Structure 1
């Protein structure tokens, strides 16, 4: 019974994560911590929950990226440029974690994420950060409803912003997609489908690097991971399929809802300490 439950958690977390580009940790980590309170599973520390979740995200990222190839929604060049900033930023953020009062920071960061979710409601009233098409990244994309998007950015600005996003994500371990997806949509006018697929592509290398650290620290429960991985692989395919069927507005709505959940969780952590 426990194994079936873990597989289902992997499927649900990965489906939602690949649908909106957040990876799946938002479901898997709290679920593992809850299961750790049940006698049948034994104690699961927060470090093990995070480490095991990050390991399974390798397979979520790989499975969803391969699936998104079919729909040609992954912007590889932009994803690699963002990784130049978000990779070092997340590492530095994890290091700074030891120096900060995380309770008060979680509270304010939770409020900020809820603010971002509300801003997404008015995204059509925003203007993208100016860039020169002849010296920057310029793209066009037509979604499954025939709507054409034009988007792009200056690489230097993209790296700088992704550095800040990676830093903030690394401090709290909320996953880069929680901020990177809305950043791509709001600042660079990425189509939601492309922002999601590109985020999942970025999650693959970052989860590999993070997992190596957690494996060396002994923070991966291999028995739990063995049950989660098949679900994560299947769930990623399900999430990509749903993403291809949903309208852009639907994806943004789901993203906004999940960001509010993340924000409330951070506020709660900040209050209870």
Structure 2
């Protein structure tokens, strides 16, 4: 029964993570903690081990979905590597802080921020791009399957700064970081949704390599759970990436908004009761 539960969790996490670029940790972390603490389905584990195990799974979720998105040419590799310059060090710092930080207050603030981002996405068509902070020294164009052309761009320093914050949050919560990076790419850098999600999964793969290594060194990985989560996450990520290519951009944004609100409410609840 334990193996079946873990494989199903991996499937759901991989599919959802690849579909909207979140990585899937938002399902794995609370599932491992809840099922271990309140049901006989899994053995109890600490939040640190749940986070470390989740980040190890993110390696396979990120790699699986990235390989799928490569076929559709929606991964912006150069941007992914630039963002990794910030998210990698941020993930290391976040993993270290995770050991000692009392996260209840931070959960409330972070959850509130997630809901704020969801509201921003709701009104994103009425918002003007952020101008004047940095020049867009890196510019891109992308044409989707419907023939729509998108122009987007950013300054590397701004991208690295934002991705450092994303990596830091990923190292603490084990949620992959896409819940912050995808909205940032769409609202600040004007990435088209399909490219933002695919590039986010590539960055999550790179960041997870770093942050999970840190958690392995700290002893925060349940290898038995990982053994059963990985196959489900790999298959689920393939399915999520396939679904992503079949959905319109507006549909993806709507799904992302709903998920961000659910993330925010869960974090606020966890912060209050914890």
Report the TM-score, using the length of structure 1 for normalisation.
Answer: 0.92
- What 5-or-longer segments of structure 2 have no aligned partner? none
Distance 1:42 1:98, change over 3 A: closer
**Rounded Cα–Cα distance in structure 1 between residues aligned with 2:57 and 2:174:** 15
**Rounded Cα–Cα distance in structure 2 between residues aligned with 1:29 and 1:101:** 17
The answer to whether the 8 Å contact 1:36/1:45 transfers is: no
The worse-fitting range, judged by mean Cα deviation, of 21-30 and 90-99 is 90-99
Is 2:65 aligned against 1:61?
A: no
The worse-fitting range, judged by mean Cα deviation, of 18-27 and 1-10 is 1-10
**Rounded Cα–Cα distance in structure 1 between residues aligned with 2:99 and 2:234:** 33
- Give a deviation string over 1:243-273, Cα, whole Å, max 9, x none: 0000001111111111111111111122113
Deviation, 1:219, is 2.1
Counterpart in 2 of 1:77?
A: 78
Deviation, 1:170, is 3.9
- Which aligned pairs between 1:179-190 and structure 2 lie closer than 5 A? 179-190=180-191
- Give a deviation string over 1:149-177, Cα, whole Å, max 9, x none: 11111112222222233334444444311
Counterpart in 1 of 2:3?
A: 3
Deviation, 1:126, is 2.3
Counterpart in 1 of 2:165?
A: 164
Secondary structure, counterpart of 1:36 in structure 2: helix
**Rounded Cα–Cα distance in structure 2 between residues aligned with 1:42 and 1:98:** 21
Counterpart in 2 of 1:17?
A: 17
Counterpart in 2 of 1:232?
A: 233
- Give a deviation string over 1:170-200, Cα, whole Å, max 9, x none: 4444431110010000000000100000010
- Give a deviation string over 1:22-41, Cα, whole Å, max 9, x none: 11111111111222133353
Is 2:250 aligned against 1:249?
A: yes
**Rounded Cα–Cα distance in structure 2 between residues aligned with 1:77 and 1:169:** 21
- Which aligned pairs between 1:200-239 and structure 2 lie closer than 5 A? 200-239=201-240
Matched positions, count: 271
Deviation, 1:127, is 2.6
Counterpart in 1 of 2:107?
A: 106
**Rounded Cα–Cα distance in structure 2 between residues aligned with 1:92 and 1:210:** 9
Q: Pairwise CA RMSD of aligned residues?
A: 1.9
Counterpart in 2 of 1:42?
A: 43
Distance 1:232 1:199, change over 3 A: same
Secondary structure, counterpart of 1:151 in structure 2: strand
Distance 1:222 1:65, change over 3 A: same
- What 5-or-longer segments of structure 1 have no aligned partner? none
**Rounded Cα–Cα distance in structure 2 between residues aligned with 1:246 and 1:214:** 35
